[in-house]
């Protein structure tokens, strides 16, 4: 288990090369306005991609884990369903541009980024199969090659002075290479997919069976994308550029949360009938998540200004006062993440969905007011409110279910103390 977790962490870090590091480099090279335009269209493409993703990843892992010998049929059945959903995505895009003619100026650039995202989705589809049969090392090798190709090609184009449109073409080319390599590796190691008996009927049946996964993943993913759409609506591409230049570092710093969750989740689920051991593991998880959150709060608050000056230069001077807010958001998200892992371990996944719906409603209601008064800092305040709401709802659900939250007198005092200091320093 520890070895597999190591490969999962390695795959995550490799993918960060083509997301976190690449976008940081593009932010410096393009400046706030063009980078904001790039990232807004990339985010919008990610939203339109949600039907194609459809929560297939968790479903595939579950089905392959139960019946590894049925892998060819499982892969073929879901592949056909993804082809059908690809048509749905194209239709949705055509409707979007028909209803919003003002967006047609970016239609080609957006379409390139969406095509690249769709190719990447199919590439990840083949990689999930490696995960399902326990070949995590094979997934890591394929992900490393694909990420390096993507990173090197896009950086080379940007450094050569390529336009955003040419960057979009580069996205498509690199993701096509990644898809072909993923498909080739799958065929070479795991064999061909089974197609017999598959068609429209089987695709619709697969979509019906996967609907619960689609709702969970879709809602979670949209919640992670909506902030960029809000910022673009109120502050334009330049606002998105400044905002996402800082959030790229937050994204990287938050990667330890799912890694810790993957390590602790099986152990916690295995100790549900052993209260003392469950309490001990819960406290350990909580302390480690709290430690990461506090480290991020201090690091971003103290070093954020220097970091943005060194990495981005003077064009991102407006980012400097945002770092303390980013640090507070990281602290709240890590503490909430520990409670979320405990809920999942106790089988309360539905609570998480309802909690995220509540947090999204709070975000949608507070963001316009706070952005109007505080600008980008207001967006971060709104996200912090949403994270705090998740923490409270998760904690209340654990208390009602009599599941240990991991908090004791010391960690609860530390959490309240740090949050109090953070709010005092921000004068909130």
Q: Is residue 11 pLDDT above 80, yes or no?
A: no
Give 43's pLDDT tier (boundaries 50, 70, 90): very high
Q: What are the CA-CA distances from residue 4 to residues 131, 380, 419 (Å)? A: 9, 35, 35
Closest among 401, 403, 407, 405 to 274, alpha carbons compared? 403
Give 2's pLDDT tier (boundaries 50, 70, 90): low
Sequence spans of domains, the chain: 2-210, 254-426
pLDDT of residue 346: 80
Name the more confident of 353 and 253.
253
Identify whether the C-beta of residue 93 lies closer than 8 Å to the C-beta of residue 111.
yes
Query: Can you tell me which residue has the tokens 């089988």?
Result: 347
pLDDT of residue 428: 61
% residues pLDDT > 90 (the chain): 51
- Please give the average per-residue pLDDT across 104-133, as a whole number: 91
DSSP 317: G
pLDDT of residue 10: 64
- Please give the average per-residue pLDDT across 68-92, as a whole number: 92
Q: pLDDT by residue (tens digit) across 325-374?
A: 999 999 999 999 999 888 877 877 678 878 888 999 999 999 999 999 99
Q: Is residue 6 pLDDT above 80, yes or no?
A: no
Q: pLDDT by residue (tens digit) across 198-228?
A: 788 888 888 888 787 787 778 778 888 899 9
Q: Is residue 384 pLDDT above 90, yes or no?
A: yes
pTM listed for this prediction: 0.84
- Please give the average per-residue pLDDT across 377-404, as a whole number: 92
Identify whether the C-beta of residue 318 lies closer than 8 Å to the C-beta of residue 370.
no
d(CA 73, CA 251): 36
């Amino acid at each position: 288990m520890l070895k597999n977790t190591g490969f999962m962490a390695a795959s995550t870090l490799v993918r960060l090369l083509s997301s976190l590091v690449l976008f940081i480099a593009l932010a410096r090279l393009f400046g706030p306005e063009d980078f904001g335009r790039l990232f807004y269209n990339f985010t919008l493409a990610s939203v339109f991609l949600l039907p194609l993703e459809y929560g297939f990843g968790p479903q595939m892992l579950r089905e392959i884990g139960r019946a590894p010998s049925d892998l060819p049929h499982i892969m073929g059945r879901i592949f056909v369903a993804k082809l059908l959903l690809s048509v749905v995505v194209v239709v949705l895009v055509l409707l979007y541009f028909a209803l919003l003619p003002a967006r047609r100026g970016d239609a080609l650039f957006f379409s390139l980024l969406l095509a690249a995202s769709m190719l990447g989705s199919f590439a990840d589809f083949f990689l999930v199969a490696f995960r399902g049969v326990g070949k995590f090392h094979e997934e890591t090798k394929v992900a490393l090659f694909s990420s390096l190709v993507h990173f090197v090609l896009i950086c080379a184009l940007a450094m050569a002075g390529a336009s955003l449109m040419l960057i979009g073409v580069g996205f498509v080319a690199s993701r096509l290479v990644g898809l072909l390599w993923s498909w080739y590796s799958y065929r070479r190691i795991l064999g061909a997919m089974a197609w017999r008996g598959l068609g429209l009927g089987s695709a619709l049946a697969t979509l019906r069976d996967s609907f619960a996964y689609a709702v969970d993943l879709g809602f979670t993913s949209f919640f992670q994308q909506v902030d960029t759409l809000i910022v673009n609506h109120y502050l334009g591409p330049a606002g998105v550029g400044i905002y996402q230049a800082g959030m790229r570092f937050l994204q990287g710093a938050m990667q330890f949360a799912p890694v810790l969750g993957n390590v602790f989740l099986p152990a916690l689920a295995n100790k549900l009938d052993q209260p003392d051991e469950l309490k001990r593991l819960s406290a350990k998880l909580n302390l480690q998540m709290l430690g990461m959150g506090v480290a991020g709060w201090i690091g971003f608050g103290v070093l954020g200004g220097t970091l943005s000056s060194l990495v981005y230069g003077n064009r991102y001077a407006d980012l400097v006062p945002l770092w303390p807010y980013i640090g507070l958001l990281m602290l709240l998200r890590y503490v909430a993440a520990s409670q979320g892992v405990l809920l999942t371990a106790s089988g309360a996944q539905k609570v998480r969905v309802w909690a995220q719906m509540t947090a999204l409603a709070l975000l949608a209601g507070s963001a316009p007011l706070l952005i109007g008064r505080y600008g980008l800092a207001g967006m971060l305040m709104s996200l912090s409110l949403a994270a705090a709401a998740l923490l409270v709802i998760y904690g209340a659900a654990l208390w009602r279910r009599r599941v240990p939250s991991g908090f004791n007198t010391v960690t609860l005092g530390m959490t309240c103390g740090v949050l109090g200091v953070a709010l005092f320093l921000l004068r909130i």
